[in-house]
Structure 1
């Protein structure tokens, strides 16, 4: 769970910094605060997507009686096939 939260936080920080950097390269200089708000808004759907995938995985694990680690192993095996 901590790994997912760290990933969401890092992706949000990356998204904010990317939008802020991109705003400095535009010909018309937008307001940095508005750019920060837009970048934060764009990072929210990514966070919900990651939370949804993780929650779905945990619900499936609970229904099948598996542990979280077993579910990660299963997902990795399916990805390799």
Structure 2
């Protein structure tokens, strides 16, 4: 945890990578990406950057909330 945010994930090393990004002035998206990469290294059988998920993004300057879905696609033959 930092003074301005908190990282939550299964592996402490990945959480620390995300917190380091916040401490260096990165934003929540920067921290999430760093955390995902680190999580894939320390726990490769359970996580990977090429996986799927969703992310809610809130932009304080505009008051706008966006949602990103990045789910794996099935092949056309499926």
Say whether the fold is shared (TM-score over 0.5).
Answer: no
Normalized per residue, the structure richer in helix is 1
Normalized per residue, the structure richer in strand is 2
Could you tell me the TM-score, scaled by structure 1's length?
A: 0.33
Could you tell me the TM-score, scaled by structure 2's length?
A: 0.34
Q: Which has the higher contact order (CA 8 A, sep 6+)?
A: 1
* Higher gyration radius (CA): 1
